[in-house]
Amino acid sequence: MNRVGTTCAVFHRALGFVGLWVFGSLAAQLDGLVGPNGIRPAVDFIARVVEHFEARSESAFLALPTLTLFVGADPLALHGLCAAGLFASVFLLAGRPKLPCLMVMWVTYLSLTQVGAEFFRYQWDALFLETTFAAMFYTPRLKASVVLPRLILFKLIFSSGVVKLLSADPTWANLTALDVHYFTQPLPNVVGYLAHFAPGHTAACLLMFFVELLVAPLIFFRPAWSFLPIAGLMFAINGTGNYGFFGPLTIALCCPLLSDATWARLLHRVGIVARPASVAKPRLWTRVHVPAVVALAVVLAMPVVGLLGRGDPTSPFTRLRAAVIDPFDGWGIVSGYGLFAQMTTTRDEITLEGSRDGSTWLPYRFRYKPNDANDAPRSALFHMPRLDWQMWFAALGTCDHNRWFLALEDKLLDHSSAVSGLFAVNPFGDAPPLFLRSRVNRVKFAPLSALAYWEVDAESRPYCPEEARPPAP
């Protein structure tokens, strides 16, 4: 039943499935986020970049590797890049030539993330780029290349445990983080709401540390033993909150933990017969591929080495990490990770309202973040609602530190249909408001016996100064 290359084929097809969600989710939001009438127009950003580097007689592409420098950043170009990534994902899922598909997925997503400003700076964006790039070098022709996806997975899981210990966050130290996590996470769902009131939070914290710190090293020594614990942790995280494609992407990285024989048996049980892959090794191909895999493995490991420096810029580990990684900065080849290092213990929600007379205010309703006390936590499945996510980060800071929020208000006052389409409800569908205001309230989950899902403090504070539409000339 052993079929050579089965593990590699399963992994690549799993990446194809993830790519469907990555590019499909993005296509629905491109216009509102970075379109010409979006919150952060990519065309304006690219124009500033080109002007800056032309004045310095330097290459803009080396500093900002994106195809939009050549094909433009208008809606046709942006959606074209997204469509190319989507089609490549479909072909990869169907088992078509893997290297071209992975290359297209990596290049197109890198091009889009470079012009996405705040909306493309999540750890799973970096993880998708790093994984698709490394997957180009993973092949059954060189069995040792399986170390690449395993190394990325180890770095993600182990670093997430280490940063919690190094952060000195009291909620991790006393194992109370999950007492607040389910309602303070960016976009809770109804399972997270129920989990908040379930017992066993301390035991769950211990189990998480066990997986992140003790199971993670088994990736290299007993990989099959680490499959279920790590995949189970990802199911728990994604099942109790909305983290987009992060969960399935991490589970895809778990696929190379199992052997060809194991995957062949599992697939046979569901009626799929694995076909052996070609393992012929042309001499020139081997001479090029082996050094490339070794070099990439060294580069991928550097963020873990940097953890030994514990943030000390004078540490030799920190300097080594910088020396190896800096040349690849901005290319999506290597990244560091560390999930939930600092646990937020309270939740603030921003309410955005508009008015035409300055006295009657109507709220804009978001699709997935809480809008009021009666809003049931929703599930976005693997979709990544980037505006809703960014609103959570905005509530952690101030208006002055989130200039994109002012751009959002400007677009709503200008009646941008692309931006208003990012909301679940736009109360000013026929004509724009004349005034906008934003306020912050402290919220938390309401008890199970309550008639609402959220408890909202009566007191609120302004977030940004009130915006008004300039009078018509």
Tens-digit pLDDT string for the chain (473 aa): 456 688 999 999 999 999 999 999 999 999 999 999 999 999 999 999 988 888 777 788 888 899 999 999 999 999 999 999 999 999 999 988 889 999 999 999 999 999 998 999 899 999 999 999 999 999 888 888 899 999 999 999 999 999 999 888 999 999 999 999 999 999 999 999 999 999 999 999 999 999 999 999 999 999 999 999 999 999 999 999 999 999 999 999 999 999 999 998 998 888 776 666 655 555 555 666 788 888 888 888 778 776 666 666 677 767 777 777 777 778 889 888 888 888 999 999 999 999 998 899 999 999 999 999 999 999 999 999 999 999 999 999 999 999 999 999 999 999 999 999 999 999 998 889 999 999 999 999 999 999 899 999 988 899 998 877 765 55
Q: Is residue 338 part of a domain?
A: no
Is residue 383 located within the same domain as residue 282? no
Cβ–Cβ under 8 Å, residues 275 and 37: no
Q: Number of structural domains, the chain?
A: 2
* 46 and 115 belong to one structural domain: yes
Identify whether residues 103 and 34 lie together within a single domain.
yes
CA distance 13 to 102: 11
One domain for residues 279 and 401? no
- Tell me if 342 is assigned to some domain: no
* One domain for residues 283 and 360: no
In three-state secondary structure terms, 177 is coil
Both tokens of 196, joined, read: 């908040």
Residue 176 lies in a domain: yes
CA torsion sign, 331 to 152 to 159 to 24?
Answer: positive
368 and 322, same domain (yes or no): no
Is residue 273 included in any domain, yes or no? yes
**Two tokens, residue 460:** 């609120």
Give the Cα separation of 182 and 209 in Å (integer).
17
Residue 290 and residue 193 share a domain: yes
Domain, as residue range, for 422:
347-468
Q: Are 335 and 156 in contact (CB under 8 A)?
A: no
Verify that 383 and 417 share a domain, yes or no. Answer: yes
| 312 and 451 in a common domain | no
